[in-house]
Structure 1
Amino acid sequence: MEWNIAAESISLVMLGIIWVYARKGSRLPSLKNRIFQWCVMVTFSAIFTNILSTIMIYNYAQIPMWMTWTVTMVYFVLTPLMGLAYFLYTLSVIYADSGQIKKIAAVGVIPGAIYILMILSNPFSQWIFGLNMSDGYTRGPFISVTYLIFYAYCLASIVVTLVNHKRIDREIYRILAAFPVLAVAVIIVQQAYPNVILSGSAATCALLIIYLHLQNRQISMDYLTNVPNRQELLDMLGLMLKKVPKKKFVLAVASLRDFRQINNACGQQKGDELLKIICQFLKKIGRRENVYRFSGDEFALLFTHEDEAQIRQCMNDIQARMEQPWQVDEYHFMLNMVIGVVQYSGEGESLERLVNSIEYAVSQAKSGKYGQICYCDKEMLEKLERRRKVIQVLKEKLDDESFQMYYQPIYSVKSGRFFYAESLMRIPDSPIGPIYPSEFIPVAEETGLIVNITYIILDKVCKFINHLMSKGIYVGSIHVNFSALQFSQPNLSERVLEIIRSNGTPMSAIKIEFTESTLAESPQVVTDFTMKMKEHGIKMGLDDFGTGYSNIATVINIPFGTVKLDKSLVWVSMKNENSALAVKNLTRTFKELGMKVIAEGVETEAQRKLVVDFGVDQIQGFYYAKPMPEAEMEEFMLAQS
């Protein structure tokens, strides 16, 4: 019988190309990657032995029979093992993080093991094939088992994929379902044309689909710098935490400062060239296989074997190099770089916590508090964990709107009454104890939670005003603080008006306050918002005057109803006559412009007399009243009315 091995020869070349490129891809020692390499090796060996066996059978009279027997037996062993390899690869993708894979794989290899025993006994039984000098190669009565085993493993791959379709990504599901079907289809064609050998072609087609969609180096490598990307780093860290949770390692992320300016000034192409040069430098400093592109202008270095002295020397070398210019063609650049460093202690931290830690370390390095290199020590990690818990509490309070509102009365000098108050959010109790505004307000602003929190505060204030009015208590206005982040919202005016209208609260009973820094950041946006609020009768106030950097002309041109002097101005005026004179003149100026002036932070009789001498209209501070919850505030207002 004659066989056509042209397709197998072409498949062998294709498979060799896949093998070369696959070895340049992901270096992650995951089960999926290891099994894929095994799939390639088994398939290559099967095709090679198939071609070699065919040639030897054609020339069996000139080749020692034992050699032909051996090569042919190896081929028959490897052919169904290709199906087993693909089946195990499917398991490694679907059950990557599950302990079930060992049990399923153990059951799955049983048919293959039985078949191998048949092959090993074939020289005696000749169930699969026979070879002798008189007849040459002959098929055995059970040769169809070879194909049945392959079919069985392909079918098992499809069944496992279908059963688990809900737990895997849709794209991966389609790939895992497609490649065994294609392999079976090619084998069926071979059954129809037995003289054309296509088993290797079927396996190569399946491997090509897997490589292009699941093992392609572009999935794990950064196209620009040719180093592993962020996802590859995360996968590597996750694997290390799972496989060797007690092993200590150090992760450093180097972040370039103001790199966007280089792109803007010299163009994207020069910026890309510079990134490649910097990456090559980092690969020489650390282990080249442990350098990753963490983000656009950030690179990660993973230290798994180096000691502390080596790591610090590496950091020092990077710093020393950054003090020298970088050259791209005719351009010379001086760059600033900060580095965050985190050591995994082997105490079972999660991947999420590790990533949060390194990002926090980089942000702290950028802040300049710790120099250009920030080593995230135990104390910093505890702060980060505390911050994480604060964020969780804020989210929970936001979801059920359960944070408490406190109100601090504001004294009117002229009437001697308390018609005004400032609303203050408080978290007196939580799973981590009381959280004070000095801690949760910055976190809320950094995370953006402050936006929705402010809307809920406004809603709660409206409801409280309505409640006081229903009790016959007169309310001049209650102040609500807006952060700078609030003014980044495109529909801010509409949202504010909607909340007040839905509650049926008088517009004049609401006063929105924001700080000088907010005004300095977005003067035009704030001005437009203020004008819009004035049209509807909502009052506006400037909070903490004296702590920001706004232009006094800008302040004068915005129709504020009130200007609140920061407590620092009051306190410094107690010690310095010149400061007192300046604040007094400022107060007079604001009043002449038609604004009311509020002095905050007044705690003593001497401070009260001082601000009254300044000519302020209202006073806020512990001297008169501390912030109090709604029930106490109601009693306070009721008593004084």
Structure 2
Amino acid sequence: MDKAVNQKIQHINEINASLEYKVKERTTKLERMNQLYAALSQCNEAIVRCNNEEELFPQICHDTVTFGGMKMTWIGLLDEQSKQLKRVASYGVGIEYLEKIQISIDENEATGQGPTGTAIRENRAFWCQDFLHDPVTAPWHECGAAFGWGASAALPLHKNGAIIGVFNLYSSEVDAFDEAARNLLVEMVMDIDYALSNFERDALRRQAESSLAASHNLLKTIIDTAPVRIFWKDKELRYLGCNPTFASDAGEVNTQSVIGKDDYQLGWNEQAELYRADDQQILDTGVPKLFYEEMKITPDGNMMWLRKSKVPLQNDVNEIIGVLGVYEDITEKKFTEERIHYLANFDSLTGLPNRTQLNDHLKYALSLAKRSNGHLALIFLDLDHFKDINDTLGHSIGDAVLIELAKRLPMILRTEDTVTRLGGDEFILLLPGVDAIGAGHVAQKLLSVIAESYQIEQYTLTLTASIGIALYPEDGTDLETLSKSADTAMYRAKQEGRQGYRFFTPEMQAHLARNLRLVNALRQALEYEQLHVYYQPQVSMQDGRIIGAEALLRWQHPELGMVSPSEFIPIAEDCGLILPIGEWVLRTAVRQAKAWLEDDFDSLIMAVNLSAVQFRHPDLPELVTRILNEEGLPPKYLELELTEGVAMHSPQDAIAVMDDLHERGIRMSIDDFGTGYSSLSYLKKFKVYKLKIDQSFVRDISTDPEDKAIVSAIINLAKSLGLKTIAEGVETAGQLAFLREQGCNEMQGYLFSKPVPIEQFEALLKQGFVVL
């Protein structure tokens, strides 16, 4: 009891420590962001006050250090002729190092390979989160250490879309530029870019006004054709004028119909109070409101996003006489950004987090687990036979099922857990702080909630799932390894019957590695002549003569040795090799049967097994007929064996294939009879002439009354249907005696011969091998 209490207290302490760390981290981040917001505000004010670059740049550097918490900032402009950056403004600790600094944009020069040169050359922001350890900043590590620089940023400056220089910032903190800080600094540079472009436009405008001051038509043309909305109001907040695009937004037919009206009389009257409050504040304070975003409902009821700026309208003696406003429609840009962000983080069908978010959540969960020696579980979930729903009912029904499932899964999880859709019908669940016992409980809940019925349109559907579980740190310490382990465990769950869960084990990894090796080796087995056909005699119960042979595939690998068919045939089916291998076996067996026929062994029947994949292939009858014709073997000497389970998987389809083969003169038998769930109504419709009694019943017929009864029943059933019987796995004289007594027609097994290569089989034939 005391140990449990101590563990509980320890767990609580660990949680408290984690919370304190998070609070401290969040507080530091908030303080940093508050400083950057203050700097952004000061910079915007500077943009409003300054008339040119010479005034603006020193003020920007001063404000980002004084208000933004930076250690030092500087701005360099590009000299196009020398391809060097010239410092034009700086502020903070360490600016003396700038006096002799030379920064090139040539990537072949050492000074051009740092953050500043890269930023201007590649026209992108460059973030150096660990200045003193980043190889990119190696030439400046010494001065960085002297001035206490922990991180740096280099952001290109533009004028009318063209790069003119770089804004460099240095922080004392490592990792100072997180996503929020980066976004804010990018916004600040966008505002500076906008101001630089404005300075140039203002200069051009002043030049134009001085030379064309008398041209009212020119001014009107500029206003009317500007790619932004423009308006101006008097001190009573009535409109004095606007351009045509603004009039259209206001729901008016032309600019004249706007003049003299206020916001209550225009199409956005419901938002009039908000707009008038903004305008009145500008009139009262004289402080512009720049580059802010706002949502507006248009007169036709649509939502519209605007990027607006409003400034005081002044006369020649600087008296405020109204408000001037400019705004642009950024609705499409806004929606595009939101959509891109959504698609980057969420599954478009279900709305669940995607692998990107899973990566982020797992990194965080792993860091916590490593610090606290804790646990976490990764669950790989795959729906069983979900493809059948898509194939039979359509993908729209399948999508609806996935959407419903995506609503159910989070309901049984904690808020700190993450459920992710990888695609198709595959899901990954991350469970921080969960051990094997907890993961098992969650897996049971998942199986239960998945098994509840789904009502999709007129269909009532039920599902099952296979679940694999990997645990940290036992099964992996990163997403790739844990995912691989959970995926392996999930496939083991499928192999062992589905509708269940399995934990990953090292044995699974070894099995997976062997399977992979077998797959790769099997792809070359035919080419390298590693596959062989062995033959096991089939003997007449009446006189003991060899009346046929079963062709059995064997694989002799030079390194792995003799690989069991029970191991490699399922692999061949899974990887798609069973069709070419099966065709090779069939052709080899038919060719050998033809050779025996030419050697006067004209009573021998060649039996060849068909896999489920072969039997369901639509070209099977044509393939068999073509091989028989090409090898010159009459169909009556070939017998195709089909397991009972394959035949009963889709009885109607099986009947159609059997009928087709029967019409071509090809015999068929049911292999492993008694191990499946045959329906007598279907059995009598199957065009077969022989039932093969499974060796699992033959093995104990000398001692087990139930096996005796089953074997007797099968023989009697075959007789009543006019079918022959053959018993496989006959190994003792006692088994032979019982089968003969019951009237079994044929047998095969180690009592007579094991499967042997062709040379040994032909030796048996030539010496007249007979069992009496």
**TM-score class, shorter:** 0.5 to 0.7
State yes or no: 1:550 paired with 2:678.
yes
2:380 equivalent in structure 1: 253
C-alpha RMSD over aligned residues: 5.7
Correspondence 1:58 to 2:51: yes
Aligned pairs for 1:346-357 (under 5 A) are: 355=483, 357=485
What is the correspondence of 1:102-181 to structure 2 with a 5 Å cutoff?
A: 147=163
Alignment of 1:425 with 2:553, yes or no, is yes
Match of 2:59? 67
Q: Report what 1:278 is aligned to.
A: 408
SS at 1:294 equivalent: strand
CA 1:342–1:575: 2 relative to 1, 3 Å = same
Name the counterpart of 2:761: 633
> CA separation in 2, counterparts of 1:591 and 1:505?
29
1:4 matched residue in structure 2: none
- Structure 1 pair 458–272 and aligned structure 2 pair: CA distance change class (3 A): closer
Point out the structure with the larger strand share.
Answer: 2
Q: Distance in 2 between matches of 1:638 and 1:384?
A: 45
Asked if structure 2 preserves the Cα contact closer than 8 Å seen for 1:542 and 1:563, the reply is yes
Change in 2 beyond 3 A, CA 1:619/1:391: same
Structure 2 SS opposite 1:628: coil
Which of 568, 574, 578 lines up with 1:450 in the alignment? 578
2:633 alignment partner, SS class? coil
Letter in 1 for 2:59: M
Larger CA deviation: 251-260 vs 412-421 = 251-260
Q: Comparing both chains, which one has the higher relative contact order based on Cα–Cα distances under 8 Å and sequence gaps of 6 or more?
A: 1
CA distance in 2, matches of 1:532, 1:418: 29
Question: 1: CA distance between counterparts of 2:385 and 2:506?
Answer: 29
- How far is 1:315 from its partner? 4.5
Aligned partners of 2:698 and 2:454: how far apart in 1? Answer: 56
C-alpha spacing 1:360/1:451, structure 2 compared with 1 (3 Å): farther
1:65 and 1:429 mapped to 2: Cα distance?
Answer: 76
TM-aligned CA deviation for residue 317 of structure 1: 4.8
More divergent stretch after superposition (548-557 vs 357-366): 357-366
Task: Specify which of 650, 656, 671 is matched with residue 522 of structure 1.
Answer: 650
* Higher alpha-carbon deviation: 509-518 or 435-444: 435-444
Largest Rg, 1 or 2: 2
* Residues 253, 294 of structure 1: 8 Å contact kept: no
1:566 is aligned to: 694
Shift of 1:476: 1.9
Q: Displacement of 1:461 after TM fit? A: 1.2
- Which SS does the other structure have where 1:624 is aligned? coil
Supply the distance in 2 between the matched residues of 1:333 and 1:89 (Cα, whole angstroms). Answer: 54
**Pair 1:488 & 2:610 matched:** no
Which ranges in structure 1 are unaligned for 5 or more consecutive residues? Answer: 1-43, 93-101, 114-128, 130-142, 151-188, 199-204
Residue 715 of structure 2 is aligned to residue 595 of structure 1: no
SS at match of 1:461: helix
Residue 306 of structure 1 corresponds to which residue in structure 2? 433
SS in 1 for 2:557: coil
CA contact (8 A) 2:476 2:485 kept: no
| One-letter amino acid matched to 1:228 | P
Q: How much has 1:600 moved relative to structure 2?
A: 1.2
Residue-by-residue CA offset, 1:92-130 (whole Å, 9 max, x unaligned):
9xxxxxxxxx99x959x99x99xxxxxxxxxxxxxxx9x
How many angstroms does 1:489 deviate by? 1.4
Change (3 A) 1:531 1:333: closer
Measured in 2, the distance between the counterparts of 1:501 and 1:456 equals 15
Shift of 1:601: 1.0
Q: Is residue 273–residue 328 contact of structure 1 (8 Å, CA) maintained in 2?
A: no
Q: Contact 2:347/2:353 (CA < 8 Å) preserved in 1?
A: yes
Which one has the bigger helix percentage? 1
- If the length of structure 2 is used for normalisation, what is the TM-score? 0.53
Distance 1:525 1:429 in 2: 37
CA distance, structure 1, for counterparts of residue 732 and residue 510 of structure 2:
38
Letter in 2 for 1:227: L
Please give the secondary structure, in 2, of the residue aligned with 1:223: coil
Task: Decide whether aligned partners of structure 1 residues 353 and 284 sit closer, same or farther in structure 2, where only a CA change above 3 A counts.
Answer: closer
Asked if 1 retains the 8 angstrom alpha-carbon contact of 2:349 and 2:399, the reply is no
- How far 1:503 moved relative to its partner? 2.7
Q: 2 CA distance for matches of 1:86 and 1:425?
A: 67
User: Partners of 1:448 and 1:585 in 2: how far apart?
Assistant: 38
Does the 8 A contact of 1:251 with 1:341 survive in 2?
Answer: yes
Q: Alignment partner for residue 521 of structure 2, among 385, 393, 396?
A: 393
Cα distance in structure 2, aligned partners of 1:594 and 1:624: 27
Tell me what 1:461 maps to: 589
Which consecutive unaligned segments of at least 5 residues does structure 2 have?
A: 1-36, 64-72, 79-84, 87-104, 106-114, 127-132, 142-156, 167-196, 206-226, 228-329
* Aligned length, in residue pairs: 506
* Residue 369 of structure 1, CA deviation: 6.9
User: Which range moves more in the overlay, 228-237 or 586-595?
Assistant: 228-237
Structure 1 pair 223/461, CA: closer, same or farther in 2 (3 Å)?
same
Kindly provide the CA deviation profile for residues 128-148 of structure 1, in whole angstroms up to 9, marking residues without a partner as x: x9xxxxxxxxxxxxx9xx958
Deviates more, 1:417-426 or 1:347-356: 347-356
Work out the CA distance in 2 between the residues paired with 1:352 and 1:404. Answer: 40
- The one-letter code sitting in structure 1 at the alignment partner of 2:604 is G
- SS at structure 2 position matched to 1:74: strand
Q: 2:118 pairs with 84, 87, 101, which one?
A: 84
1:161 alignment counterpart = none
